[in-house]
Structure 1
Amino acid sequence: MSASTPADDPVSDEAVTEDALLGGRVRLRQPRDGYRAAVDPVLLAAAVPARPGERVLDLGCGAGAVFLCLLAREPALRVVAVERDPEMAALARANVALNGVTDGVEVVEADVAALAPDWREGGFDHVVSNPPYLPPGRADPSPHPGRAAAGVEAGVDVATWIGRARRCLRHKGRLTVVHRADRLAELLAPLQHGFGEVVVFPLWPKPGRDARRVVVTARKGVRGPLRLAAGLVLHAEDGGYTKTADAALRGAGLDLGAQGPVA
């Protein structure tokens, strides 16, 4: 499997920056003024327990931060990444080449809502996603089209996103999503159909602060109760990253089954 490469990259060098993730293990070209990857995609990748040879679908991959971090931790994965925005898809392809992972990645330029119902049905061990966080009615869109498209739902709500993931997962395959904590109810509702072993893993900004993000994971076609995990404290009182958060941001995996506050 290889990434298709367009004849002309529509993203000019002046419009992008090249940044480093995982302490320099991942090089990421991303828009200078549009959506820019922060800690969320890195922590999402850290939460995926992917093993060598497994198949991963990244829905709404943007410039590729999630799947590139996954591949840095486990190079022997096979990845299909779907992105609707032509410029972001072009950047994802460029980043595949930049990081030397062309043999294991296919970038598909498509809208999740427009994929055929049987597209890659049952073809993946994992589906990962860092979808747009806000519905149109609650959003104050950025004036920058790329940032607005990445942050605000446009025709694909949370339930549609999860429905697509369910069709693409194999039996007992795993979905892992990062989203806003205040949309947890919308995230959990569609997981009642066809999923089990749901784990909600809060990301606490600091001790004593409300969680702003959650990582949610679930398995297709299995039974098991929902579990609220202790979660991860991102920052210590002095403002620096906690030991576990820093390790995850440098490429270590996150254990969503940890039985105590992860700091």
Structure 2
Amino acid sequence: MSEFMRLHPNERIDDLSLGGRQIIQRTDGFCFSMDAVLLAHFPHMTGRERVLDLGTGTGVIPLLIADHAAAVTAVELSPVQTELAARNVRMNQLTEKITVREGDYRAPSALFACAEYDLVFSNPPYRPVTSGAVSMGEGRAAARHEITATLADTVHAAAYALRHGGRLAMVHLPERLGEIVFALHAEHLAVKRLRMVQPRMDKAPNLMLIEAVKGAALTGMRHEPALIVRDAQGQYTEEIRVIYGGRI
């Protein structure tokens, strides 16, 4: 086993169902879920984009999109997650494509240059700290609640990073759409694509995928057909199976 795949206590290796790529995650921390995978597949990419992933965690989104980008910068606040993300990049032999940086994107100028990127990914904490029971464990709590960065912080960092005409791809909760549109507008970003994610056809959306463009007019948003996760029999839909490479 290579030194990068040698597991430390409370670690496991998961298959990403993508050309043999794997990811090391901590069993006692927050592991990536379907929302990250759906987000990685949402924007249309040409292979020429300079990409930034805000709050990369263990680096799942960069690993999933690396083949479709020119270069990827992955930023993470947690030293533990940063170290895991860097190991995952090395394990998958992507050091020439993906750069991992530890730091707080609430101070974006310390991590990346202004207007440096064509596309920014964000799978931010979904809930303000005042809502719901905060998850046990520092990693889980920070991933689900706005403990280290608010929605406004995330949008500001994305706007700082993007060139004029660059795109922000974000996954979030439908119930916060009004707040999100307001936060984007404050940073001169306009929603251009919106897609709701429904657990089943007869269930209300529980996630949404947003693509916003820096400097664009507020008109012309495309509301795309909902992405349905499971069919009436409880099986994953064909679109979900395709996203996961037929291995779900």
Count of residues in Structure 1 that have an aligned counterpart in Structure 2: 241
TM-score normalized with structure 2 length: 0.90
Structure 1: segments with no counterpart, 5+ residues: 1-8, 252-263
User: C-alpha displacement at 1:83, in angstroms?
Assistant: 0.3
Instruction: Say if 2:118 and 2:163, in contact at 8 Å, map to a contact too.
Output: yes
Q: Which amino acid aligns with 1:15?
A: N
Partner of 2:107: 114
TM-score normalized with structure 1 length: 0.85
User: C-alpha displacement at 1:225, in angstroms?
Assistant: 2.7
Partner of 1:234: 229
Q: 1:182 aligns with which of 170, 175, 184?
A: 175
User: C-alpha displacement at 1:61, in angstroms?
Assistant: 0.3
CA distance in 2, matches of 1:209, 1:24: 33
1:111 counterpart SS class: coil
Can you list the C-alpha shifts for 1:100-129, whole angstroms capped at 9, x where unaligned?
100011111011113338941000010001
CA distance in 2, matches of 1:66, 1:119: 18
Q: 1:60 aligns with which of 37, 40, 55?
A: 55
Residue 51 to residue 23, structure 1, CA distance change in 2 (3 Å): closer
CA distance in 2, matches of 1:117, 1:13: 31
Partner of 2:164: 171
Can you list the C-alpha shifts for 1:180-210, whole angstroms capped at 9, x where unaligned?
1222222111222412352221001001100
Q: Which amino acid aligns with 1:210?
A: A
Instruction: Say if 1:195 and 1:219, in contact at 8 Å, map to a contact too.
Output: yes
Partner of 1:18: 13
By relative contact order (CA 8 Å, sep 6+), the higher-ranking structure is 1
Q: Which amino acid aligns with 1:221?
A: G
Q: Give the share of equivalent positions with the same residue, in percent.
A: 32
What is the RMSD computed on CA atoms of the aligned residues?
2.1
Q: 1:215 aligns with which of 181, 185, 209?
A: 209
Partner of 2:126: 133
My pick for the range that moved more, 33-42 or 18-27, is 18-27
CA distance in 2, matches of 1:190, 1:215: 16
Instruction: Say if 1:78 and 1:105, in contact at 8 Å, map to a contact too.
Output: yes
